[in-house]
């Protein structure tokens, strides 16, 4: 039942102790505010890292080669290791049961690409059909390279959205011819990539075509594989790690490279890196929770201390109430109601201010690793109610002691 007189009494008490009430509320509000901000930025960090990995397949193994740094079996150091199509075919067949998508690449950097009077210098990559799925690319129009293009060595190209804008403006590029180093290629598709404009500046042509027109023979520059994922993330990471090591060992054996030469063959495993980064994010989130919760605890302790002072100051008043017949439960309720009101009001204020700041500042943050900082509202409001409960518990101890004071003892208090 709503007791108007009790609320008037509570507001009168708060009014008489403005500074004390303000500082108590500030400690509680700042605790919730700090927790909301920390959780928001931990979520933003998770969103940013996730978006970085979404640019390409998460379960990706990338292979490239360099120069040997050690002599081995009579061969001198300083040899450039050139991968061949036969290397790719061997690994593809041997580990077929573990591979989801695969492609070999032959890239040309800074290729002159022209259409009518427009010319740009972007990357051209000879690729295989699976490359679309490895890059997480979607087709805006047309299609991607297929197996027939590869087998027939067709002079066709799939261009990125940014490349289409630079060359064709508002014109439809499908079935139009572009020139790559003066050689004509028919545009068969336009792709969009989650990696953004940098990825969309490229043009893809069939691997066999790039090897032929650029005089590469059977040479390739990269091999990319995605590992079949299992329901158990740790098992998938272990499979990916084992396969990465096996590919590296196979290539070193094929090209007579010292087993401990770490520069000649490079294998990058994104799934293993993802596990490391997600583990780091979990650690950061735990630290943020730890800091936020203990900030709230400090606020709750402040509420408890203030309630002890309030009870001490009102000892005579409590004695008079008991002498006039007030029940202990009414005294406990009076003190608890004040503690709960201050805690609830300050907690909600800190929550609203924190959420509002995230909504205002979050969209302005331009960082690859922090995107859309936000807080689950259910978690935030739950934190407030836990805070209120803790505040009520902090106020209960002095309230219970006050209710047990004998009237004659209370009236003698100075």
**Per-residue pLDDT tens for 361-394?**
776 666 656 667 777 777 777 777 777 777 777 7
Between CA 373 and CA 379, with CA 375 as vertex, the angle to 5 degrees is 165
pLDDT of residue 48: 67
Instruction: Please give the pLDDT value at position 1.
Output: 45
How far CA 375 is from CA of 100, 169, 188, 283, 352, in Å, comes to: 35, 41, 44, 18, 12
Q: How confident is the model at residue 90 (pLDDT cuts 50, 70, 90)?
A: very high
DSSP assignment of 288-310: HHHHHHHHHHHHHHHHHHHHHHH
- DSSP H helices, 169-269, are 197-200, 207-213, 233-254
Do strands 203-206 and 118-127 pair parallel, antiparallel, or not at all (unpaired)?
Answer: parallel
Report the alpha-carbon distance of residue 200 to residue 122 in Å, rounded. Answer: 10
Mean pLDDT in residue range 100-109: 92
Over residues 164-174, mean pLDDT: 92
3-state helix, strand, coil in the chain (%, to 5): 55, 20, 25
Phi, psi of 58 (to 5 degrees): -70, -35
Instruction: List pLDDT tens digits, range 221-276.
Output: 999 998 887 666 677 778 888 888 999 999 999 999 999 998 899 998 877 666 66
Percent of all residues in the chain with a pLDDT value above 90, rounded to a whole number: 35
Please report, for the chain, the start and end positions of each structural domain, with discontinuous segments joined by +. 4-52+276-412, 82-254
373 contacts 362 by C-beta, under 8 angstroms: yes
Q: What is the pLDDT of residue 403?
A: 67
Rounded to the nearest integer, the mean pLDDT of the chain is 81
Residues 135-160 have pLDDT tens digits of 888 999 999 999 999 999 999 999 99
Sorting pLDDT into bands at 50, 70 and 90, what band is 7? low
Looking up tokens 């690994």, which residue turns up?
Answer: 91
Taking residues 46-60, what's their average pLDDT? 62
pLDDT of residue 408 exceeding 80, the answer is no
Q: What is the Cα–Cα distance from 106 to 210, expressed in whole angstroms?
A: 7
Q: Are 182 and 113 in contact (CB under 8 A)?
A: no
Q: Does residue 396 have a pLDDT over 50?
A: yes
Mean pLDDT of 33-53: 72
């Amino acid at each position: 039942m709503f007791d108007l007189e009790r609320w008037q009494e509570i507001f009168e008490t708060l009014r008489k102790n403005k500074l004390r009430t303000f500082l108590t509320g500030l400690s509680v509000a700042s605790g919730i505010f700090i927790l909301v901000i920390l959780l928001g930025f931990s979520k933003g960090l998770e969103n940013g890292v996730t978006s970085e990995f979404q640019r390409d397949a998460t379960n990706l193994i990338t292979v490239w080669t360099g120069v040997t740094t050690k002599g081995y079996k009579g061969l001198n150091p300083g040899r450039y290791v050139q991968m061949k199509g036969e290397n790719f075919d061997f690994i593809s067949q041997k580990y077929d049961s573990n591979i989801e998508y695969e492609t070999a690449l032959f890239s040309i950097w800074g290729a002159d690409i022209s259409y009518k009077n427009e010319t740009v210098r972007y990357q051209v990559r000879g690729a295989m059909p699976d490359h679309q799925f490895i890059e997480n690319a979607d087709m805006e129009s047309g299609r991607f390279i297929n197996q027939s293009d590869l087998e027939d060595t067709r002079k066709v190209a799939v261009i990125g959205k940014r490349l289409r804008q630079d060359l064709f403006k508002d014109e439809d590029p499908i079935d139009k011819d572009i020139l790559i180093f003066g050689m004509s290629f028919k545009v068969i598709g336009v792709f969009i990539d989650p990696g953004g404009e940098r990825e969309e500046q490229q043009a893809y042509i069939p691997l066999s075509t790039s090897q032929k027109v650029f005089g590469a023979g059977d040479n390739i520059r990269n091999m990319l594989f995605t590992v079949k994922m299992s329901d158990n993330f740790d098992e998938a990471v272990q499979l990916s790690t084992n396969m990465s090591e096996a590919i590296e060992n196979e290539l070193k054996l094929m090209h007579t490279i010292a087993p401990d030469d770490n520069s000649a063959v490079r294998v990058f495993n994104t799934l293993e890196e993802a596990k490391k980064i997600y583990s780091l994010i979990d650690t950061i989130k735990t630290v943020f929770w730890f800091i936020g919760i203990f900030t709230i605890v400090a606020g709750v302790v402040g509420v408890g201390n203030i309630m002890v002072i309030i009870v001490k100051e009102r000892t005579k008043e409590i004695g008079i109430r008991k002498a006039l017949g007030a029940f202990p439960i009414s005294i406990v309720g009076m003190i608890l109601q004040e503690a709960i009101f201050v805690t609830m009001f300050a907690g909600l204020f800190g929550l609203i201010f924190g959420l509002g700041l995230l909504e205002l500042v979050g969209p302005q943050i331009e960082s690859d690793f922090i995107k859309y900082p936000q807080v689950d509202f259910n978690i935030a409001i739950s934190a407030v109610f836990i805070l209120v409960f803790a505040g009520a518990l902090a106020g209960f101890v002095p309230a219970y002691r006050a209710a047990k004071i004998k009237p004659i003892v209370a009236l003698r208090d100075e």
